Structure 1
Amino acid sequence: MMERRLWREGSLGVAGKVWQTNWFFVLLILCLAAVGYVALYSAAGGSPEPYAQKQLVRFCIGLVIMVAIAMTDIRIISRYSWWLYALGIVLLLVVAKFGHVGKGAQRWIAIGGFQLQPSELMKIFLALALGRWFQKASYEQVGRITFLAVPVLAILLPVGLILKEPNLGTAVITGTIGTAILVAAGVRWWKFVIVIAAFGAALPVAYHHLHDYQRQRILTFMHPERDPLGTGYNILQSKIALGSGGMWGRGFLNGSQSNLDFLPEKQTDFIFDLIAEQFGLVGSLCVLGLLLLIVLGSMLIALRCRHQFGRLVALGISVDLFLYVFVNIAMVMGAIPVGGVPLPLISYGGSVLITAMIAFGILMSVHVHRDVEFPESDH
């Protein structure tokens, strides 16, 4: 009882924070990173270069970042939430002006040899900003249109900037994270009905404003067999790789689709196909189970948190993780159009990995500081 009272007063030291850490959740993260290392080692034909070794170095850096954020008082993170949001917007504007163009999109900026994708960070910063806004909001305030104007604009601004890159997948995920936080904060359901109806009515117009490659992805999703050696090649090879693994798989380093380079982007977007081909349905389900445990663990952190800021931020991160997994798996199965959405900690990529570790660090901070009390004036 005395420990809990001191904890609420913010006087628990580093040792106490380490004791409060959810080490089972950390173990799940380490296991997922190990799966990613094995998959990337296989993607290079049985070599740590060029993917696995670099990913391991990035993960170790990310692990230090995660621990540092986990030990940071969640109230300090809350205090700088809108500053981080502003930083994210500035980075998106820098991308629009000076960003690196790759595969027809302008999404990255080079910082010291590292390719940073600000849209990934923006999703986390948006969750922090919205959590801060609704931190002490009353039920009456949440019901006012004027009070909701700021969070709605805070969602639309980054979504619009990400759409201009163009990056439709990340823009949709960012908007979904913001919407989920609004729902959890208590925004009335009928407001969402109006927005959804307006969005549905605008879809035909929006389709004609898509880029050519985006429309092509939708058409390929509907009829991949019409151009099996062109636009339909990726998804057809993906389905072949998924089915060729059978129940137990072809064995480590023995996947024909991946070894013979039939499988496209096997180290990034289609890495789950590589796992399915080599380890079969059983191995695929094990990886999915691990991902599910991490998503459920993050949701449990949100439910156990006693303050609104932590609950909403943890929920936003949970939704982000879930959408990453759902969109990537549905994409490689051909259930949705192909888009550049990787698997966290498994797919090769620095921005996604570091962003995931930052998100995990914030989740850990929410869990460690789940019982702290925010000052009444801190809004």
Structure 2
Amino acid sequence: MKSLLNAVVRVLTAFDWPLLAMLVLFTALGLTVMHSAVGGTDWRFADQARNFAIAFAVMWAVALIPPPMLMKLALPFYLVGVVLLLGVEFMGETSKGATRWLNLGFARIQPSEMMKIAVPMMLAWYFQRHEGEVRIRDYLAAVLMLALPFLLIVKQPDLGTALLVFAAGFFVIYFAGLSFKLLAPVMIVGVVSVGTLIYYEEPLCQPGVDWVVLHDYQKHRVCTLLDPNADPLGKGFHTIQSTIAIGSGGMYGKGYMQGTQTHLDFIPERTTDFVFAVYAEEFGLYGGIMMLVLYGLLLARGLFISSRSATQFGRLLGGALTMVVFVYVFVNIGMVAGILPVVGVPLPFMSYGGTALLTIGIACGMLMSVSRHRAGKT
């Protein structure tokens, strides 16, 4: 009886209850929106419910792993991920013009997904080992550890996943003490580049112009962002229809399962990348604000947990994983609203798909692990 009681206590203490409460709310909201997006309880709704169950189970299992054990797993996890990415480069399977999958015989995996977790773990472990004596060469080494998987994923090509991996690694490096003065020149170059692109949009977006650093489909996405009406029934269709759906929702929305853009099939990929357009049309501006507030509370809780970690590893890992969720939300809503290019980034807890939910589940499990072993807590 005592052993059973101890097991129950261990299960209950594995969770950070405020964070868990927010995740339960997101689960209810995500399944509600998915029910509307598919028009009922078809196989996609059932699959998404199963995906949530798996994500919660994995989250709980990861939450039971103490941060010292996560530190020990960081290096081998990163090395395995890089080896698998190299395997994709030389032996990967190609689908729809992209080589992202690796067939291991017993399973078909997408190694780039695991790097969203492996990269911040590796960099947090590295800075933990150099705590108190971080020098410029340590930042350069961290950049190299980030650049290797980033470039391998870009080459597949999978720009959306590459950006998320880069963001995860960048936030670890920034939280480790990287001076903002070093970032200022990069930001200036970025602003100048965007301004130049907007000013010279017409000649740069001509069919015969090669952008060198981007594939043709990536160039088309940027040009479509600048002028979606140039090809309203082709490349600009996604952006135009999603913005119409958001605008037609007005202040209060059209009501649950009453979205015309959604249920007349005008919104492409309405269960995955463009699910926010479904939500905004049916729940309006106020509904969108409520969703953003809930995301804000989730991010605030993640940063609060990270700030109270007993180790630098926990602070860096928790902070980076929390900010990756922010990048997910910012990029997805930005592309649906027509202010960012379409890069195939899902909306956390809303978009259909098991891989993204599993990744978020692992990240939340790690946050709960950090919470259980925070400073001053036994």
Match of 1:29 among 11, 23, 32: 23
What corresponds to 1:287 in structure 2? 291
What corresponds to 2:39 in structure 1? 45
The alpha-carbon distance between structure 1 residues 284 and 196, as it changes in their structure 2 partners (threshold 3 A), is closer
SS of residue in 2 equivalent to 1:80: helix
Q: Does 1:187 align with 2:181?
A: no
Number of corresponding residues:
359
What corresponds to 2:246 in structure 1? 242
Runs of 4+ in 1 over 6 A off after TM superposition: 111-115, 197-206
What corresponds to 2:306 in structure 1? 302
What corresponds to 1:6 in structure 2? none
Q: Does 1:71 align with 2:64?
A: yes
What corresponds to 1:7 in structure 2? none
SS of residue in 1 equivalent to 2:100: strand
What's the CA shift for 1:74? Answer: 1.1
Letter in 1 for 2:219: R
The alpha-carbon distance between structure 1 residues 156 and 23, as it changes in their structure 2 partners (threshold 3 A), is same
Alpha carbons 1:181, 1:312 under 8 Å: kept:
yes
C-alpha distance in structure 1 between counterparts of 2:147 and 2:192, whole Å: 18
Match of 2:164 among 160, 167, 173: 173
**What does 1:114-263 correspond to in 2, within 5 Å?**
116-139=109-132, 141-145=133-137, 147-193=138-184, 207-263=211-267
Letter in 2 for 1:34: A
**What does 1:91-130 correspond to in 2, within 5 Å?**
91-109=84-102, 116-130=109-123
What's the CA shift for 1:206? Answer: 9.8
C-alpha distance in structure 2 between counterparts of 1:116 and 1:353, whole Å: 15
What corresponds to 1:4 in structure 2? none
Q: Deviations over 1:94-130 (max 9, x none)?
A: 3334444444322234679976432222021111111
Q: Does 1:362 align with 2:354?
A: no
Alpha carbons 1:116, 1:351 under 8 Å: kept:
no
Alpha carbons 2:14, 2:63 under 8 Å: kept:
no
The alpha-carbon distance between structure 1 residues 102 and 277, as it changes in their structure 2 partners (threshold 3 A), is farther
Letter in 2 for 1:186: G
Letter in 1 for 2:328: Y
The alpha-carbon distance between structure 1 residues 307 and 267, as it changes in their structure 2 partners (threshold 3 A), is same
What corresponds to 1:86 in structure 2? 79
C-alpha distance in structure 2 between counterparts of 1:327 and 1:259, whole Å: 25
Alpha carbons 2:332, 2:347 under 8 Å: kept:
yes
The alpha-carbon distance between structure 1 residues 241 and 301, as it changes in their structure 2 partners (threshold 3 A), is same
C-alpha distance in structure 1 between counterparts of 2:95 and 2:26, whole Å: 28
The alpha-carbon distance between structure 1 residues 74 and 356, as it changes in their structure 2 partners (threshold 3 A), is same
The alpha-carbon distance between structure 1 residues 136 and 93, as it changes in their structure 2 partners (threshold 3 A), is closer
C-alpha distance in structure 2 between counterparts of 1:206 and 1:371, whole Å: 53
SS of residue in 1 equivalent to 2:288: helix
Alpha carbons 2:15, 2:60 under 8 Å: kept:
no
C-alpha distance in structure 2 between counterparts of 1:299 and 1:278, whole Å: 31
Gaps of 5+ in 1: 1-11, 374-379
Alpha carbons 1:43, 1:267 under 8 Å: kept:
yes
Q: Does 1:61 align with 2:49?
A: no
C-alpha distance in structure 1 between counterparts of 2:104 and 2:60, whole Å: 23
The alpha-carbon distance between structure 1 residues 279 and 103, as it changes in their structure 2 partners (threshold 3 A), is farther
Letter in 2 for 1:143: R
The alpha-carbon distance between structure 1 residues 200 and 95, as it changes in their structure 2 partners (threshold 3 A), is farther
What's the CA shift for 1:197? Answer: 6.5
Alpha carbons 2:228, 2:236 under 8 Å: kept:
yes
Q: Deviations over 1:175-199 (max 9, x none)?
A: 2322221121123444444665777
Gaps of 5+ in 2: 1-5, 198-208
Letter in 2 for 1:233: F
Alpha carbons 1:238, 1:270 under 8 Å: kept:
yes
Letter in 1 for 2:57: V
Q: Deviations over 1:233-275 (max 9, x none)?
A: 1100011000111122112111111111110100000000001
What's the CA shift for 1:61? Answer: 1.4
SS of residue in 2 equivalent to 1:106: strand
Letter in 2 for 1:172: L
Q: TM-score, normalising length from structure 2?
A: 0.87
What's the CA shift for 1:304? Answer: 1.5
C-alpha distance in structure 1 between counterparts of 2:129 and 2:27, whole Å: 37
Q: TM-score, normalising length from structure 1?
A: 0.87
Letter in 1 for 2:142: P
* More deviation, 87-96/222-231: 87-96
What's the CA shift for 1:232? Answer: 0.8
Q: Deviations over 1:56-97 (max 9, x none)?
A: 112111211111111111111111101111122123223334
* Cα RMSD after superposing both structures: 2.7
Q: Does 1:320 align with 2:313?
A: no
